[in-house]
Structure 1
Amino acid sequence: MSLLEQINADIKSAMKAKEKDKLQAIRSVKSAFMLEMTKTGATELEDTKAIGILQKLVKQRKDAAETYKSGGREDLADKELLEMGFLEVYLPAKLTDQELSIAIEQIINETDASSMKDMGKVMGIASKQLAGKADGRSISDKVKALLS
């Protein structure tokens, strides 16, 4: 079952259960997916692309919640964090720090990287392989630490 099919099924179940907040969050995901499909002219959306869109939506909600908190609007921040929780369910499990180190060490060994000059090569492969499992900053920091 693709991620889009899962979203459609969850929309139906949220409608039946009358879960208004969950329904709104999931519909925003479907809307973003449909917009991307329209832009590219695709009839289906690859799961890797869908995960990227989901990550972007989660980050937007996290940033909005922080902005609302700093502005003293706890009610709006809580709503954003609630929606973020509904969306994170669809993302792959995050790697622990140790798992991330192991994965990047394997990539370094595969590419025969030995210095910071090889960082771009390692980052390119790591970003693709670890998409959705770790954020770009964590990957970058770990690659720098291991190549230094």
Structure 2
Amino acid sequence: MSLRETINQDLKEAMKAKDVKKRDALRLLTSAFKQIEVDERKELSDDDIIKIIQKQIKSRNDSAAQYKEADREDLMEKELEEIAVYEPYLPKQLTDDELSTALKAIIANVGAESMKDMGKVMGAASKEFAGKADGKRINECVKTLLA
């Protein structure tokens, strides 16, 4: 079963169970899928869907941080609940140790020796860890290893 079919099935189950929060979060997600399909006139693959989910999670995290600064705990909680609904659809995220070990191998393969070679490492790492690690985490780890 594709990722999209799984999400649609979970949406139906949330509707039957009258789980309003999950239903609304999944509806927002499916509308984002449809919007991109209409705009770009293409069928979404599982990789495309994962990228959309990651983008939605990043957006929700940014919003939650702004709501926290504005002392709007109610809105922050809503954003965090939506993130909790979206995260199970992403591939298992790499731990810091796994990411560091894999990045050391990439640095060795690319032949990177200093911060000047960061672009080469980031290019290879971003492709390899797509969906498994956030770009910001990859960037920070690469900086630490090359410093």
TM-score norm. by structure 1 comes to 0.90
Counterpart of 1:94? 93
2: CA distance, partners of 1:77 / 1:86:
15
Residue 27 (structure 1) shift? 1.0
Counterpart of 1:33? 33
Moved more, 7-16 or 64-73: 64-73
- Count, aligned residues: 147
Secondary structure of the corresponding residue to residue 89 of structure 1: helix
Residues 1:16 and 2:37 are matched in the alignment? no
The C-alpha deviation readout for 1:95-144, integer Å capped at 9, x for no partner, is: 11110101111211222222322211110111111122221121112112
1: CA distance, partners of 2:68 / 2:143:
33
Counterpart of 1:110? 109
Alignment of 1:1-148 (within 5 A): 1-43=1-43, 45-148=44-147
Structure 1 residue ranges without an equivalent (≥5): none
Identity rate of aligned residues, in percent?
A: 52
Classify 1:97/1:37 alpha carbon distance in 2 versus 1 (closer, same or farther; 3 Å): same
2: CA distance, partners of 1:144 / 1:114:
11
Secondary structure of the corresponding residue to residue 131 of structure 1: coil
1: CA distance, partners of 2:114 / 2:69:
41
* RMSD of aligned Cα (Å): 1.5
